[in-house]
């Protein structure tokens, strides 16, 4: 089976980083917006020279430097994109429900541009069931706007390997203390995912149980999506499609849920 390999996320975002003192400038941004990778190769997240200036890439300055690159690209060199996004408004075709985990940023993983993705991120990439209780439902509010305000064509739920949110739920179910209040209550939504994983294979434990629960949580969120009336209506009209994906960050494989076969299929 041919698995697609994912690029190093840091290199994907920033290009290759040289630490040699002879490096005079940040790698050049190509017309497509991606950073040229023809520079040095010795990545070092500490004391990196950028434009002749030493930057501690472990500190907040790294973010400020990143913003300068963003501004240079989208406001100085190629301002058309944001001018259009402002004059015409955003018009993303994809709403993505992804985990808040720093390793699975959908804009980086899928190499998108500003305006491409309406991102809804929370602990464990969960979609709660539809509830009219007057409480604070951030994920539901974002979904409502994506479907009824932006008329997105696709909602993609993206679970991932080594998910701390799913692990917290599994630990809690095993009687272990997970600490905190909000994560514990939020991931209680995943009980059914764990139950289904064990129902499918009662012998599962450890990492295998976690991985099975992570995939089941994607399916559970897909089911919960269909409890929202505006989602059902858009789907019935043929205006909206749902997708369940699982990002295996151990080996860089994207698995896509096949609704017909009821299995996750690795993409080659």
User: What are the residues binding Zn ion (CB under 5 A)?
Assistant: 99, 101, 163, 165
Least spacing, CB of residue 247 vs Zn ion, in Å:
10
Smallest separation, CB 101 to Zn ion (Å): 4
Nearest distance from C-beta of residue 128 to Zn ion, angstroms: 16
Choose between 92 and 165: whose C-beta lies nearer to Zn ion: 165
Query: Other C-beta atoms within 10 Å of 63: how many?
Result: 10
Residue 17 or 142 having the CB closest to Zn ion: 142
Residue 48 or 217 with smaller CB distance to Zn ion? 217
Q: How far is the CB of 267 from Zn ion (least distance, A)?
A: 20
Q: Nearer to Zn ion by C-beta: 14 or 160?
A: 160
When the beta carbons of 91 and 100 are compared against Zn ion, the nearer one is: 100
Smallest distance from Zn ion to CB 103, Å: 8
13's enclosing H/E stretch is helix 9-14
Q: Whose CA is closest to 38, among 54, 49, 26, 51?
A: 26
The helix/strand/coil state of 267 is: coil
Smallest distance from Zn ion to CB 161, Å = 9
Considering beta carbons, is residue 101 or 255 the nearer one to Zn ion?
101
Give φ, ψ of 227 to 5 degrees. Answer: -85, -10
Task: Give the whole-angstrom CA distance, residue 56 versus residue 65.
Answer: 10
Structure tokens at 110: 């899928």
DSSP conformation letters of 116-169: SEEEEEEGGG--PPP--SSS--HHHHHHHIIIIIS--SEEEEEEETT-HHHHHH
Of residues 194, 207, 189, 209, the one with CA closest to residue 125:
189
Separation between Cα atoms, residue 92 and residue 152, nearest integer Å? 6
For residue 157, the minimal CB distance to Zn ion (Å) is 12
* DSSP 3-state of 226: coil
- Nearest to Zn ion of 121, 232 (CB atom): 121
Computed on alpha carbons and rounded to an integer, the radius of gyration of the chain in Å comes to: 21
């Amino acid at each position: 089976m041919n698995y697609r390999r994912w690029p190093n996320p840091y290199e994907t975002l920033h290009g290759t980083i040289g630490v040699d003192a002879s490096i005079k400038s940040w790698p050049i941004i190509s017309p497509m917006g991606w950073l040229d990778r023809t520079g040095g190769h010795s990545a070092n997240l500490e004391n990196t020279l950028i434009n002749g200036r030493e930057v501690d890439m472990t500190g907040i300055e790294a973010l400020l430097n990143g913003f300068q690159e963003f501004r240079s690209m989208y406001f100085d060199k190629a301002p058309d994109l944001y001018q259009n996004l402002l004059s015409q408004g955003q018009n993303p075709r994809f709403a993505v429900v992804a985990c808040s985990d720093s390793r699975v940023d959908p804009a980086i993983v899928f190499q998108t541009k500003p305006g491409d993705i309406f991102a809804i991120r929370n602990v464990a990439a969960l979609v709660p069931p539809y509830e009219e209780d007057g409480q604070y439902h951030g994920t539901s509010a974002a979904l409502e706007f994506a479907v009824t305000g932006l008329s997105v064509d696709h909602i993609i739920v993206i679970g991932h390997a080594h998910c701390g949110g799913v692990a917290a739920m599994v630990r809690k179910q095993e009687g272990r203390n997970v600490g905190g209040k909000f994560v514990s209550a939020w991931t209680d939504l995943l009980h059914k995912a764990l139950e289904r994983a064990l129902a499918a294979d009662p012998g599962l434990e450890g990492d295998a149980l976690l991985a099975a629960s992570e995939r089941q949580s994607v399916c559970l969120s897909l089911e919960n999506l269909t409890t929202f009336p505006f989602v059902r209506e858009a789907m019935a009209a043929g205006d909206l499609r749902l997708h369940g994906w699982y990002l295996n960050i151990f080996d860089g494989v994207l698995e896509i849920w096949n609704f017909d076969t009821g299995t996750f299929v690795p993409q080659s």
